[in-house]
């Protein structure tokens, strides 16, 4: 026998129990975003490779070693490793900001060839939220508040906010000079990646996860000390709005983010409940990206949240409350009964009920077991007796009430009454 083929390493199937939780999450997310005036976007999963090289930066983990890139007949293509670059590309291509700024969001898979581990996959999902064309610090603060509201909506506790300002390009350039001088003085303590980055992207060295370099990084010149008045004022204003909203935060001078396009505010929501993969949401301002992608300059800010990581924090029992079972499960025995059951199920769907019709045979006992497992509130029994009198037996599955034979033409009404009616009203009736 040949071996079965398995999914690609680091790419997961999301099976029905889990997928139902995802759907519940997605519908919560849609409501949450509508509450802030965001409109949906859907971009291709594949983009021209130069898009990510330009947007994310050549000297980043993603572009250097994590992208799924392949040659097509005409050009080099890449499975998107993140959404912001695609979103801004689409906005430029369709001139979406012609009549003013826009709040946009998207959700979908991203691809990075990383070492797979818990909370880190090669295909993972993000909800991306982008506020395009807005310069004011209030937008940075609103984006951060949105995160807090989502954790509250999901009843997730203990997610902490870390914040930093990366200032402007010029401020980073001045900081860079001193940082490089400092790191060159300590060349011997740099790991291989860092030594390579020293000449190209030294700021990223501060972002290292190598525990042996922590001390070195702690002692490095801090970008915060190089910020000019405008950047400082912007940062202060964001912090003020956060404290007005009662959102505690920690300024983390080492927070530089993995991607090159950020400036001014950067932030991460972190938890210690997920081990090393503790960042569940990250973002910031990226005023330079539009120009970098060949467009007219536009201020912008946004964030992306990692769906797998957020879902890992979302209580199973809580999410179960959002998952809906079918209303009805129809069981039947005999050929004539099977035909009647088939049309009864369709009639009830016409009436707006979610109906699962038993398929696959088996006696009534086995079928009732399925009915129970489906989570339906009622089983509808169609046997030969029922067919003879043009009726259906309705059996409550979640309460100890007696089953009742109901005429077929009154069936929908009875069921509606049972499912949505007043408690006392259908007492005894069904
Ligand atoms: P990390 O530091 O964990 O590698 P990152 O800085 O590379 O994250 P971003 O590019 O900012 O991540 O993406 C935003 C969010 O997407 C992250 O905070 C995380 O929740 C999620 N994420 C990123 N990479 C992965 C992955 N490989 N698997 C699962 N989730 C991920
Ligand atoms: Mg990463």
Q: Looking at residue 280, which CATH number applies to its domain?
A: 3.30.930.10
Q: Are residues 312 and 336 in the same domain?
A: no
Does ligand 1 have an atom closer than 6 angstroms to the CB of 197? no
What is the rounded distance in angstroms from the CA atom of residue 256 to the CA atom of residue 266? 7
Query: Which numbered atom of ligand 1 lies nearest the CA of 114?
Result: 27
Give, rounded to a whole angstrom, the gap between the first and last alpha carbons of the chain.
54
pLDDT band at 428 (very low <50, low <70, confident <90, very high): very low
Nearest to 202 by CA among 219, 181, 185, 228: 181
Contacts (Cβ under 8 Å, ≥6 apart) of 129: 33, 38, 103, 104, 105, 143, 146, 283, 302, 303, 304, 305
State pLDDT tens for residues 197-231. Answer: 888 888 888 878 788 888 888 889 988 899 999 99
Q: How far is the CA of 268 from the centre of ligand 1 (A)?
A: 10
Are 88 and 138 found together in one domain?
A: yes
Tell whether 32 and 145 lie within a shared domain: yes
**Does position 53 have pLDDT exceeding 90, yes or no?**
yes
What is the average per-residue pLDDT within 149-171? 93
Residue 194: partners with Cβ closer than 8 Å, 6 or more residues away? 183, 205, 208, 210, 213
| Region for residue 108 given its phi and psi (left: phi exceeds 0; alpha: psi -120 to 50; beta: otherwise) | left
Domain count, the chain: 2
* Ligand 1 pocket residue status of 82, Cβ below 6 Å: yes
* Contact predicate 19/91, CB 8 Å: no
- 413 and 383 part of one domain: yes
For residue 218, the CA-to-ligand 1 centroid distance in Å is 23
Q: Is 256 in the pocket of ligand 1 (CB under 6 A)?
A: no
Q: What is the pLDDT of residues 294-336, one digit of tens each?
A: 999 999 999 999 999 999 999 777 777 777 889 999 999 988 9
Q: At what angle do helices 335-350 and 411-420 cross, to 10 degrees?
A: 60
Average pLDDT, the chain: 92
Q: Are residues 160 and 49 in the same domain?
A: yes
Q: What pLDDT band is residue 261 in, cutting at 50, 70 and 90?
A: confident
Q: Does pLDDT of 427 surpass 60?
A: no
Considering the chain, what percentage of its residues have pLDDT values greater than 70?
A: 97
What is the model's pLDDT at position 424? 52
* Domain range for 366: 328-422
- pLDDT (mean) for 157-167: 94
Instruction: Using the 3D structure, point to which of 318, 339, 355 is the last residue of a domain.
Output: 318
Domain assignment present for residue 383? The answer is yes
Choosing from 299, 318, 337, the residue where a domain stops is 318
Q: How far is the CA of 3 from the centre of ligand 1 (A)?
A: 33
Cα 246 to the chain's mean position, in Å? 25
Same domain, 143 and 236: yes
Task: Using the predicted structure, report yes or no on whether residue 277 has a pLDDT greater than 50.
Answer: yes
Q: Please tell me what DSSP assigns to residue 161.
A: E
Q: Are residues 310 and 351 in the same domain?
A: no
Query: Quick check: CB of 281 below 6 Å from ligand 1?
Result: yes
Enumerate residues 6+ apart whose C-beta is below 8 A from 173. Answer: none
Query: Does residue 276 surpass a pLDDT of 70?
Result: yes
Tell me whether residue 180 is in a domain: no
């Amino acid at each position: 026998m040949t071996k079965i083929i398995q999914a690609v390493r680091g790419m997961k199937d999301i099976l029905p129990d889990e997928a139902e939780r995802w759907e519940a999450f997605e519908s919560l997310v849609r409501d949450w975003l509508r509450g802030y005036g965001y409109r949906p976007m859907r971009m291709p999963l594949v983009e021209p490779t130069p898009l990510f090289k330009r947007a994310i930066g050549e000297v980043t983990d993603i572009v250097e070693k994590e992208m799924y890139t392949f040659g097509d007949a005409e050009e080099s293509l890449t499975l998107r490793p993140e959404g912001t670059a695609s979103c801004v590309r689409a906005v430029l291509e369709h001139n979406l900001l012609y009549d003013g700024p826009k709040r946009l969001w998207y959700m979908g898979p991203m691809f990075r060839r990383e070492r797979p581990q818990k909370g880190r996959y090669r295909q993972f999902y993000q909800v991306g939220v982008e506020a395009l064309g807005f310069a004011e610090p209030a937008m940075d603060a609103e984006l951060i508040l949105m995160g807090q509201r989502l954790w509250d909506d999901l009843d997730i506790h203990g997610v902490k906010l870390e914040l930093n300002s990366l200032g402007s390009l010029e401020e980073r350039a001045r900081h860079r000079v001193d940082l490089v001088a400092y790191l060159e003085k300590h060349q011997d303590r740099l790991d291989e990646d860092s030594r390579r980055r020293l000449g190209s992207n030294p700021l990223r060295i501060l972002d290292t996860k190598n525990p042996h370099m922590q001390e070195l990084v702690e002692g490095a010149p801090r970008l915060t000390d190089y910020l000019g008045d405008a950047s400082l004022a912007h940062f202060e204003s964001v912090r003020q709005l956060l404290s007005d909203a009662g959102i505690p935060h920690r300024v983390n001078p080492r927070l530089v983010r993995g991607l090159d396009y950020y400036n001014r505010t950067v932030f991460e929501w972190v938890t210690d409940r997920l081990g090393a993969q503790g960042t569940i949401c990250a973002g910031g301002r990226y005023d330079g990206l539009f120009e970098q992608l060949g467009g007219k300059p536009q201020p912008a800010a946004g964030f992306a949240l990692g769906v797998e990581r957020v879902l890992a924090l979302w209580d199973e029992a809580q999410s179960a409350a959002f998952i809906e079972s079918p209303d009805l499960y129809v069981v039947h025995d005999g050929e004539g009964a099977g035909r009647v059951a088939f049309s009864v199920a369709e009639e009830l769907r016409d009436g707006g009920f979610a109906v699962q019709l038993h398929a696959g045979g088996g006696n009534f006992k086995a079928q009732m077991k399925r009915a129970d497992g489906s989570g339906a509130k009622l089983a509808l029994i169609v046997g030969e007796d029922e067919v003879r009198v043009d009726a259906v037996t309705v059996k409550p599955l979640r309460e100890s009430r007696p089953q009742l034979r109901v005429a077929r033409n009154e069936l929908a009404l009875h069921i509606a009454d049972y499912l949505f009616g007043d408690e006392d009203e259908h007492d005894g009736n069904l």
